[in-house]
Amino acid sequence: MALVLVVVALLATGLAVAYGIERTSGDRALPAVPTVPAPTVSRPPALRDLMPPTVRVGSAADGRWMSLDAEYGELLGSEFDAITPENAMKWANLEPSPDVYTWAGADQLVGFAEQHDQSVYGHTLLGRTDVPRWVDPQWSADQLRAVLRDHVTAVVSRYRGRVWAWDVINEALDEDGSLRDTLWLRKLGPGYIAEVFRWAHAADPGARLFINDYGVEGRTRKADALLELVRELRRAGVPVDGVGFQSHLRWDEQPRDMVGNLRRFAQLGVSVAITELDVRIALPETAAKRERQAALYRQVLQACLAVPACVSFTVWGFTDARSWIPGYHAGYGAACIFDAALVPKPAHAALMDQLRRIPSPTGAGPGPG
């Protein structure tokens, strides 16, 4: 087992040297990468084939499912050109005891991405729920700052040049828009956010650094507060490059003026990204609910495509067989674009249809596909 891991790690490193590094340029447009060898069997067009080259289309991914289910990996590799580790890069998983790192899960996903000509969106350097238990709230501010800085530096340095963007801070705001009452806020003060961004930037100046949250997709109080926070951070010269809109939506709700909301963030000079889209359905799933769900997926894609600063569109898992929703939202499920048997749902068709409507750059009718 250990030998296998070493071989995988070596392979992944070699691949990064071969073509991984260029992928992390801070530019909005995807840099040139070697083309994937032509598939031997023809397959129907996938999301990644139709998405404009300036927007990545990604999914959250979990290495456990790849090992259990070959089809999961095949679809992940063919449908998307970016992946976000669903859990493997969270602090508690990467550093289960002080200074003891378990890189295997994250390395596996980074290696997979490189083999499939995909970008990696790192998630997350400091999340609300992912702090390991060994981080002791009784420690002094200096001690806490040191463990946080060491962690951020170790992780970003390890994947320097191989992760194109990081969720640096995840869920920093409370529902009312105030800074969430966390250990970091209490001990380090509100400046902790800027500090984490600066440490991440120092460790990989080429990575795009995002602040990510939920409940900010439409014009909400929380979105207003996030806008002000990002404005202040940028004014202070903090290296915040983008804002991530998680987009965990419900089939029967609608974010208020998502396009306008994304635009006002873009006006601050940052990129925006749809980072964790899923649309949960109140069970039982019906054909009518699937159609409503499809319309919402389409609408979020439309919003991203309508805003030139939108650099990526990521779903939080692509199959109902592996979604986090049933475990966290009682009574809900069926939130993804493929069903549990990996058959595309109306939501997938809606995304494909929306992409086919993009006019080609030459103006000669609809784009590829």
Q: How many residues does the chain have?
A: 369
Q: Does 86 bind ligand XIL (CB under 6 A)?
A: yes
In angstroms, give the least distance from the CB of 10 to ligand XIL.
29
The yes or no reply on residue 319 touching ligand XIL (CB under 6 A) is no
Closer CB to ligand XIL, 78 or 93, in the complex = 93
| The only residue of 59, 87, 247, 299 in contact with ligand XIL, by rule CB under 6 A | 87
Query: Measured from the CB of residue 273, what is the shortest distance to ligand XIL in angstroms?
Result: 13
Over the window 128 to 147, marking each residue x when it contacts ligand XIL by CB under 6 A and - when it does not, the resulting string is: --------------------
Q: Could you tell me the smallest distance in angstroms from the CB atom of residue 172 to ligand XIL?
A: 12
The helix, strand and coil proportions of the chain, stated in percent and rounded to the nearest 5, come to: 40, 20, 40
First to last CA, the chain: 43
C-alpha 131/C-alpha 137 separation (Å) is 11
User: CB 319 → ligand XIL: shortest distance, Å?
Assistant: 13
Residue 276 as a binder of ligand XIL (CB under 6 A): the answer is yes
Question: What minimum distance in Å lies between the beta carbon of 95 and ligand XIL?
Answer: 16
Identify which of residues 16 and 135 has a Cβ nearer to ligand XIL in the complex.
Answer: 135
Q: Half-sphere exposure of 127 toward its Cβ, with a 13 Å CA cutoff? A: 19
- The answer to whether 278 touches 248, Cβ cutoff 8 Å, is yes
DSSP letter for each residue of 55-83: SEEEEEE-HHHHHH-HHHHHHHHHH-SEE
**Which position has the token pair 């103006």?**
363
Q: Does 312 bind ligand XIL (CB under 6 A)?
A: no
Binding characters for ligand XIL, 150-179, by CB under 6 A (x = yes): --------------------x---------
Note whether 24 binds ligand XIL by CB under 6 A.
no
> Residue 314 and residue 336: Cα distance in Å, rounded?
11
**Dist. CA 138–CA 144, nearest whole Å:** 9
Size of the site for ligand XIL (CB under 6 A): 6
Q: How far is the CB of 265 from ligand XIL (least distance, A)?
A: 18
Which of residues 89 and 281 has its CB atom nearest to ligand XIL in the complex? 89
Selected binder of ligand XIL within 24, 59, 119, 246 (CB under 6 A): 246
Joined together, the tokens standing for residue 260 give 């306008």
- Which of 164, 197, 324, 332 is in the footprint of ligand XIL by CB under 6 A? 324
The verdict on 278 binding ligand XIL (CB under 6 A) reads no
Query: Helix 287-306 and helix 258-266: axis angle, to 10°?
Result: 30
CA dihedral 167, 173, 175, 178 (to 10 degrees): -170
Q: Which residues are catalytic?
A: 171, 276
Cross-strand pairs, 82: 58, 119
Residues that bind ligand XIL (CB under 6 A): 86-87, 170, 246, 276, 324
